[in-house]
Structure formats: structure tokens, C-alpha cells
Amino acid sequence: MTITTSAPPSATGTKGPDGRAQRSRKHSFREIWWIYVFLLPTLLGYGAYTVYPLLASWWYALLDWPGFAVSGEFVGLQNFERLLTDHQFWNAFGKSLLFLVIAVPARVGLALLLALWLNSKRTPFSGFFRTLFFLPVVTTGAIIGIVFTLLLDGGGPISLGLVWAGITETPTNLVANAGTSLYAGIAVWVWKWLGITMIYWLAALQTVPQDVHEAAMLDGANGRKEFWHVTLPLLVPFLVIITLIDTVSALNVFDLMQTLTAGGPAFSSEVIEIFIYRTAFAATVPQLGYASAAAVLFGLLTVIIAVAQGAGVRWARARMGGGS
């Protein structure tokens, strides 16, 4: 049954629906104005530390600004033109994309496997293991970078373990070898953030109704068939959201990579953020405008991904029947 109410027509006939809506909004604002007061600190912080730097970086990208000068000189799009022919920039851009392409599927896939294992009723000490896998998430990225520098260097336990196992003949410095440094960074990044993606998956798995599992079992599906034909299709909307969240996360790896490899050796692990940092702070003459232009181009990539994320989320909600 549906109850509908309708407002009586105006006695004078002078106030139409617009006037009523305006009054209603005003009335509504009187009741909820305090919400905006509580939001104000966040809005101010967001404005000062997100919106302002974002807008400023767009302006700086149009300046020739040596770091030791108080201000820059407007040069239009020259910085962007220079970036297009800067192989160091494209090297870093490519490394960031490679990082993303390898790290995100690895993190999403491994976390799903972990979540499935920990979600099983037959897994002992699942609570303990969940905590264990989540611990790196709450550890500072820079600290993890420093610790893994020691663990992965030529005299570290991992290198010696590889020799002991006969996988390598001599100790290998995995973070200081141009062939392995980026992949070492990817591996450490996946390990560090695996726990949070695992939590996402565990939450997603709770949404799969138990009766669906039971129905599949009654129909004779084994564990693998049940996963591929029942569980996984139900998880697809979550897969989209989790992948997009992890993708954005994979574009913010400065603290870890700077402490782990500093982009080296020979720029083999220089992701775009390290390029920006090096150009803005560590160059002989720091180039703030040029670094900002690189950041803007990089930001465009992030925006494209964010738009894709928005579309993905909308699609996933529609698939889940969650409305708009």
C-alpha cells in the first residue's frame, strides 16, 4: 500500500510550485545547517591542500621557474612541448604504466586467493592470518622501503636464500640490478598492500548468499566449478571496484620506491613521481615549472583512470541492482 499526500492549492493562488520548493529548501536548510558547519573544516582542508595545489600546479606548468628564483616567467606551453621530447619523462611514464599493469592484477589476484582461503570454514587460525596479512598495510611505506633494501641486497637473506636454493649462482642485489629493480619494487608494493585488498575481497565474499553455495553443492558442483560458475560471477562488480581502487593506489608509490631504489640504477625503476621529485628538488637548477608540467600530464592519466573508475562503479552498482 502506498500513501500519498498532496499539498492543498494555495488559497490566494499567487504561490506556485516554485515558491513552495524554495520555501521547502529554506526550511530544510534551517534544520540541517549545522551539518555544513561540521563539514567546513574538511572543506577548508580539502581546498587548501587539494584544490589549491591542484590549481597552482596547472599555473606553474606554464612558467619557466628556476627553483632559486622567487617567481617564474610565463612561457605558455613550452614545458609541455619539452616534455614530449624528453626521453627521461617517457621512460618514467612507461615505468609507471608497467608498474600498474603488473602490480594491480598481481595484488587483486593474490588477495582474492588469500581471501578465499581465509573465508573457508576449514582454514585454522583465520583471524590470526588476517591480522598477519594486514600488518604491512599499517606500516609506513618508507620504513618498508628501507627494510627491504636490506632484505633484498646482495648480502641479505633473500639473496642468500636464492643461492642456497640453487636458483642463482651468486648473490644478486635485486633492488640494485637494472633488470630486477622495478619488479622488486612491484613485489614489495604488492606484499605491503595485499592485506587491504584481501579485506575488500572478504567483505565481497560475505555478500554471496549461503543458499547459493548450498544449491550449487546439491547440483553436484565441486569447489572449482562452484567458484568459476557461481561465486566469481557474483563477485565481478566487486572486481571492477577493487581493481580501480588498486589502480589509483599503484600510481602513488613515491615513498616506497624512493627509499627502496631511488629510481635507480640507471633510471630502471624511476616511476613518474620520482621524476617529478628529481626535477623539482634534486636538479642542479630545480625546475618547478617543468616538474609541474610533468605532474599535470601525470595527473591527466589519473583523471582518466578516475573517470573510468566512476563508470566502473556505476556499472557495478547497476549490476548489483543498487540503483543509481
Partner 1 sequence: MTSSKHGASGVAVPQGRAFEMRRREFLGAVGVGGLTAVLAACTGGGQSAREAAQDDGTLQWWDQFRPLTGMFEASLFEPYMQANNGVTIERRQMEGPDLAQAIQVARRSNQMPDVHSLAGLQATPAALVSEGWFQSIGAHADFEGSALGDQLFDGIHRFDGEVYSVPLFSGRMHEATPWVNTELLGQADVDPAESPATWDDLRAAAKRITDRTGVHGLVVPLKEVEYLKTLVTALAQSAGAPGTVGWTVDWRTGEYVYDSQPFVDALEFLVSLQADGVVHPSSASMGARDARARWAAGEAGIYLWGPWIIGGLMVDEPEAVERGIDAWSLPGAETTRNPIGRGPGTGVFWVNKDSQQPEVAAELLLQMSSREFQLQLASAMDQPPALVDVVAEADVHPAYARNIEHLAKDVRISPVPEAGNPSTWRVAAEMQDVHPDLGEIAQAILTGSGGDIKGELTKLNDAMNAERDRAIEAVSSEGADVGLEDWVFENWDPATDYDQAAYGAR
Q: Show Cβ contacts of residue 202 under 8 Å, excluding neighbours closer than 6 positions.
A: 115, 118, 119, 130
State the pairing for strand pair 73-74/63-64. antiparallel
With H, G, I as helix, E, B as strand and everything else as coil, classify residue 207: coil
Is position 281 an interface residue for partner 1 (rule: CB under 8 A)? Answer: yes
What would you measure as the largest C-alpha separation in the chain, in angstroms? 95
> Do 259 and 146 touch, CB atoms closer than 8 A?
yes
Q: Which stretch binds partner 1 (CB under 8 A): 131-139, 148-156, 231-239, 299-307?
A: 148-156
Binding partner 1 by CB under 8 A: which of 6, 7, 17, 68? 68
Is position 173 an interface residue for partner 1 (rule: CB under 8 A)? Answer: yes
Is position 167 an interface residue for partner 1 (rule: CB under 8 A)? Answer: no
Is position 55 an interface residue for partner 1 (rule: CB under 8 A)? Answer: no
Binding partner 1 by CB under 8 A: which of 33, 166, 220, 222? 33
Residue 220: other Cβ atoms inside 10 A? 7
Is position 69 an interface residue for partner 1 (rule: CB under 8 A)? Answer: yes
**Nearer to partner 1 by C-beta: 156 or 312?**
156
Q: Tell me the CB-side half-sphere exposure of residue 263, using CA atoms within 13 A.
A: 20
Binding partner 1 by CB under 8 A: which of 94, 136, 265, 299? 265
How far apart are CB 167 and partner 1 at their closest, in Å? 16
Say which amino acid occupies 305. Answer: I
Measuring CA to CA, which residue among 186, 298, 188, 320 is closest to residue 241?
320
Q: Which stretch binds partner 1 (CB under 8 A): 189-197, 211-219, 220-228, 258-266?
A: 258-266
Is position 78 an interface residue for partner 1 (rule: CB under 8 A)? Answer: no
Q: Tell me the CB-side half-sphere exposure of residue 104, using CA atoms within 13 A.
A: 20
Helix axes 181-206, 141-152, angle to 10 degrees: 130
Backbone angles phi, psi at 124, to 5 degrees: -75, 155
> Do 275 and 98 touch, CB atoms closer than 8 A?
no
How far apart are CB 57 and partner 1 at their closest, in Å? 13
Is position 38 an interface residue for partner 1 (rule: CB under 8 A)? Answer: no
Is position 150 an interface residue for partner 1 (rule: CB under 8 A)? Answer: yes
Spatial distance between the Cα atoms of 62 and 75, rounded to a whole number of angstroms: 6
Spatial distance between the Cα atoms of 187 and 181, rounded to a whole number of angstroms: 10
Binding partner 1 by CB under 8 A: which of 112, 242, 251, 262? 262
**Nearer to partner 1 by C-beta: 20 or 229?**
20
Spatial distance between the Cα atoms of 119 and 203, rounded to a whole number of angstroms: 10
How far apart are CB 52 and partner 1 at their closest, in Å? 6
Please report where in the chains the cell 572449482 appears, as a residue. Answer: 224
**Nearer to partner 1 by C-beta: 61 or 111?**
61
Site string for partner 1, 118-147 (x = CB under 8 A): ------------------------------
Site residues for partner 1 per CB under 8 A: 30, 33, 36-37, 40-41, 44, 47-48, 52, 66-70, 88, 149-150, 152-156, 159, 171, 173, 175-179, 262, 264-268, 281-287
